[in-house]
């Protein structure tokens, strides 16, 4: 049975991406995965590993070219938040960490309170990709 979940993402600017995820409050993984071309974070109580790779390194691992984030979505990751106030705070921290908010905090369609963040350089306002922050349905 699998014991861990590792999310691997290609990034065009490793230093800026590290700053973005640190601004969100992710903890750097002291284990393997930190080098001049990669960075490793631990996420949540389950300790999911988020790996950031320079695009050429990611393409080598994947055995395929990296998708052009200006033309297509490559991944959408949801991060749990305990309250709408925490979602609002994460949106502010994402911007202070160099990212952008492509969908402002609010209840999209009334089902959940969330927002959409992007760590792409330059930030893309028109594409739906990056990180979406959500919480449980509103009561």
Burial class (CB in 10 A: 0-12, 13-18, 19+), 6: exposed
Decide if 99 contacts 125 (C-beta within 8 A).
no
CATH class of 6-62: alpha beta
Give me the percent of the chain exceeding a pLDDT of 90. Answer: 18
Q: What is the rounded average pLDDT of the residues 74-98? A: 83
- How much is the pTM? 0.70
Residue 83 pLDDT level (bands cut at 50, 70, 90) = confident
Write the DSSP symbol of residue 32. S
> What is the rounded distance in angstroms from the CA atom of residue 86 to the CA atom of residue 73?
26
If you write DSSP's letter for every residue of 88-104 in order, what string do you get?
HHHHHHHHHTT-EEEEE
Domain-by-domain residue ranges, the chain?
6-62, 76-134
């Amino acid at each position: 049975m699998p014991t861990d979940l590792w999310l691997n993402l290609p990034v065009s600017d490793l230093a800026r991406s590290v700053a973005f995820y640190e601004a969100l409050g992710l903890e750097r993984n002291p284990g393997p995965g930190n080098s001049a071309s990669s960075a490793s974070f631990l996420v949540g109580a389950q300790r999911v590993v988020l790996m950031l790779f320079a695009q050429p390194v990611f393409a080598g691992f994947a055995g395929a070219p990296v998708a052009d984030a200006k033309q297509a979505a490559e991944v959408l990751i949801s991060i749990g938040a305990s309250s709408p106030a925490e979602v609002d705070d994460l949106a502010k921290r994402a911007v202070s960490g160099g990212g952008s908010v492509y969908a402002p905090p609010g209840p999209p369609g009334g089902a959940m309170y969330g927002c959409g963040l992007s760590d792409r350089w330059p930030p893309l306002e028109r594409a739906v990709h990056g990180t979406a922050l959500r919480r449980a349905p509103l009561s």
